[in-house]
């Protein structure tokens, strides 16, 4: 493999693994916020107890995924300077601003609100505590927006001018309203909600199959997960189709490859415009990823709709084959989202900034042996973090609400509700 191939492989592997953390984080946090709001607004002790236990159980899984995901995000940032210094030199004046804002939101605002929510059990007023988890959700999606703004510039560079071969930002508004960023953000948000809903529904179905108790809790979370995933999975397909005209207008070669026609004519035109070279991305990879994403998306939408109808009739928890399908479906949205990422990134090759900077031009002056070592180190580290993450999530998910550690300063309410303790003394932790 060439140095460019190793750098691409390294960034593809690490970004793809990091994305699996991100999509679950974005998908789970709105559901946890809904659960916490439902608990806070309920006046019935039994109902409030159920939704509070749900909040802590799913919130703990969310916190585990967020914590490990932050580690992968921090490590990934180093690759821009390590392997792609040409991108920083060419577009740092434009590309750096949204990345810096994303860092401020994700690693400062979002983390601060989440920390206050984690340690706020038994210490904060109920309304303030609920507001914090909604602020976590808001900042999570704000962080995603800035990432998509940065990525949207790579897909469709706008709001800048070139001076001596360097891009300078001239229209911040154009950068913020880039169609390649906004419509992709909608697609990403809906994909994340689908992932979170399927995850909640699948884990809930597993507990019904294993007869682990907490039937009332997992019935409620099963319904919430199915409602969210059914609605989101329908619209994710709709929004995905709405991206096609934007792609055709800004990246005609990608659209031609997806469509399977007009590739040769576009290759000739691009070679005439930009000089000799191969401007066709890996056709089989792009088409396979597109087909896989579409097939999985339609399958998830159909299955969640059927399961939701059965939930209305209170049959899904009794019909074991459907419950097993929901459990087996947990990885599907992750696979579909990776397929979408491959289409978006691989489909614009050989450009790093479409039409203006190629991958070869952006590559750092680093030896092949150095890239080989760093690629092996990065991929190994990220695989270890991903394995740790899913091991912890699986362990806590199997143990159920009774083993939840989130909010240990305030005892969990009993499964059936009942009277709350007359006085709750927070446990001081130092």
- Region for residue 69 given its phi and psi (left: phi exceeds 0; alpha: psi -120 to 50; beta: otherwise): alpha
Query: In the prediction, which pLDDT does 411 show?
Result: 65
Query: In the prediction, which pLDDT does 96 show?
Result: 87
Spatial neighbors of 218 by CB under 8 A, at least 6 apart, are 204, 207, 208
Count Cα neighbours of 151 within 13 Å in the Cβ-side half-sphere. Answer: 20
- Scanning the structure block, which residue is given the tokens 């706008």? 158
- SS3 category, 160: strand
- Region for residue 407 given its phi and psi (left: phi exceeds 0; alpha: psi -120 to 50; beta: otherwise): left
Q: Is the pLDDT of residue 222 over 60?
A: yes
Q: How confident is the model at residue 412 (pLDDT cuts 50, 70, 90)?
A: low
Q: Please give the sequence-ordered ranges of beta strands (E in DSSP) within 225-295, or none if there are none.
A: none
Report whether 335 contacts 20 (CB < 8 A): no
Return the DSSP state at 109: I
Query: In the prediction, which pLDDT does 403 show?
Result: 83
Summarised one tens digit per residue, pLDDT across range 20-55 is: 999 999 999 999 999 999 999 998 999 999 999 999
Query: In the prediction, which pLDDT does 416 show?
Result: 59
Over residues 161-173, the mean pLDDT reads 94
Q: Is the pLDDT of residue 419 over 50?
A: no
Question: Range with the lowest mean pLDDT among 152-166, 253-267, 308-322, 324-338?
Answer: 308-322
How large a percentage of the chain has pLDDT more than 70? 94
Supply 32's token pair: 């946890």
How large a percentage of the chain has pLDDT more than 90? 68
Stronger pLDDT, 212 or 171, i.e. the higher one: 171
Query: In the prediction, which pLDDT does 314 show?
Result: 72
| Cα–Cα distance, 128 to 333 (Å, whole number) | 33
- SS3 category, 166: strand
- SS3 category, 282: coil
Average pLDDT, the chain: 89
Over residues 320-333, the mean pLDDT reads 93
Q: How confident is the model at residue 1 (pLDDT cuts 50, 70, 90)?
A: confident
Question: Range with the lowest mean pLDDT among 79-93, 121-135, 198-212, 240-254?
Answer: 79-93
Query: In the prediction, which pLDDT does 319 show?
Result: 78
The β-bridge partners of 168 are: 161
Return the DSSP state at 275: -
Summarised one tens digit per residue, pLDDT across range 178-194 is: 999 999 999 999 999 99
Query: In the prediction, which pLDDT does 73 show?
Result: 81
Beta strand pairing status for 160-163 and 166-169? Answer: antiparallel
Give which of 129, 121, 184 is closest to 151, Cα–Cα: 184
Query: In the prediction, which pLDDT does 317 show?
Result: 64
Distance from the Cα of residue 290 to its chain's centroid: 18
| Cα–Cα distance, 230 to 379 (Å, whole number) | 34
Q: Is the pLDDT of residue 103 over 70?
A: yes
Over residues 237-260, the mean pLDDT reads 93
Q: Is the pLDDT of residue 58 over 80?
A: yes
Over residues 121-147, the mean pLDDT reads 94
Over residues 102-128, the mean pLDDT reads 89
DSSP per-residue codes, 175-237: HHT-HHHHHHHHHHHHHHHHHHHHHHHHHHHHHHHHT-S-HHHHHHHHHHHHHHHHHHHHHHH
ω into 350 cis (within 30 of 0): yes
Q: Is the pLDDT of residue 390 over 60?
A: yes
Query: In the prediction, which pLDDT does 421 show?
Result: 40
Query: In the prediction, which pLDDT does 215 show?
Result: 84
Summarised one tens digit per residue, pLDDT across range 345-370 is: 999 999 999 999 999 999 988 888 98
Counting Cβ atoms within 10 Å, is residue 49 exposed (0-12), middle (13-18) or buried (19+)? buried
Question: Range with the lowest mean pLDDT among 61-75, 224-238, 280-294, 331-345?
Answer: 61-75
Spatial neighbors of 230 by CB under 8 A, at least 6 apart, are 197, 301, 304, 305, 308
Stronger pLDDT, 18 or 405, i.e. the higher one: 18
| Cα–Cα distance, 53 to 58 (Å, whole number) | 9
Q: Is the pLDDT of residue 372 over 50?
A: yes
DSSP per-residue codes, 325-382: HHHHTTTHHHHHHHHHHHHHHHTTTTEEETTTEEHHHH--S--HHHHHHHHHHHHHHH
Report whether 334 contacts 23 (CB < 8 A): yes
| Cα–Cα distance, 119 to 300 (Å, whole number) | 36
Q: How confident is the model at residue 409 (pLDDT cuts 50, 70, 90)?
A: low
C-alpha Rg value of the chain to the nearest Å: 23
Q: How confident is the model at residue 320 (pLDDT cuts 50, 70, 90)?
A: confident
Query: In the prediction, which pLDDT does 246 show?
Result: 93
């Amino acid at each position: 493999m060439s140095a460019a191939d190793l750098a691409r492989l390294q960034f593809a592997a690490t970004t793809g693994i990091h994305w699996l953390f991100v999509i679950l984080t974005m998908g789970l946090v709105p559901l946890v916020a809904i659960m916490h709001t439902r608990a806070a607004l309920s006046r019935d002790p039994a109902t409030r107890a159920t939704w509070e236990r749900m909040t802590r159980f799913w919130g703990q899984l969310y916190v585990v995924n967020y914590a490990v995901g932050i580690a992968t995000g921090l490590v990934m940032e180093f690759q821009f300077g390590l392997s792609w210094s040409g991108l920083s030199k060419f577009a740092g004046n434009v590309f750096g601003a949204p990345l810096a804002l994303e860092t401020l939101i994700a690693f400062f605002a979002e983390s601060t609100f989440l920390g206050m929510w984690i340690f706020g059990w038994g210490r904060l007023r109920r309304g303030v505590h609920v507001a914090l988890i909604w602020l976590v959700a808001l900042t999570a999606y704000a962080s995603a927006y800035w990432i998509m703004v940065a990525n949207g510039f790579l897909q469709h560079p706008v709001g800048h001018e070139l001076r001596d071969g360097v891009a300078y930002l001239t229209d911040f508004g154009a950068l913020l309203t880039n169609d390649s960023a906004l419509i992709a953000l909608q697609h990403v948000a809906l994909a994340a909600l689908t992932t979170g809903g399927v995850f909640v529904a699948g884990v809930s179905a597993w507990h019904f199959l294993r007869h682990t108790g907490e039937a009332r809790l997992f019935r409620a979370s099963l319904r919430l997960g199915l409602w969210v995933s059914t609605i989101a999975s329908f619209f994710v397909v709709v929004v995905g189709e709405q991206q096609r005209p934007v792609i055709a207008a800004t990246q005609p070669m990608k659209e031609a490859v997806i469509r399977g026609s007009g590739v040769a004519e576009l290759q000739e035109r691009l070679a005439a415009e930009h000089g000799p070279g191969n401007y066709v991305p890996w056709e089989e990879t792009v088409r396979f990823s597109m087909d896989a994403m579409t097939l999985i998306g339609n399958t998830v939408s159909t299955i969640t709709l059927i399961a939701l109808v059965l939930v209305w009739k209170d049959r899904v928890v009794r019909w074991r084959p459907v419950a097993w399908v929901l459990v087996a479906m947990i990885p599907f949205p992750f696979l579909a989202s990776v397929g979408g990422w491959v289409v978006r990134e691989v489909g614009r090759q050989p450009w790093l900034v479409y039409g203006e900077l190629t991958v070869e031009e952006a590559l750092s002056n680093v030896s092949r042996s150095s890239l080989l070592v760093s690629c092996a180190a990065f991929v190994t580290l990220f695989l270890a973090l991903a394995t740790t993450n899913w091991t912890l999530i699986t362990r806590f998910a199997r143990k159920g609400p009774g083993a939840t550690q989130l909010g240990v300063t305030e005892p969990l309410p009993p499964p059936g509700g009942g009277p709350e303790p007359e006085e709750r003394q927070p446990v001081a932790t130092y």
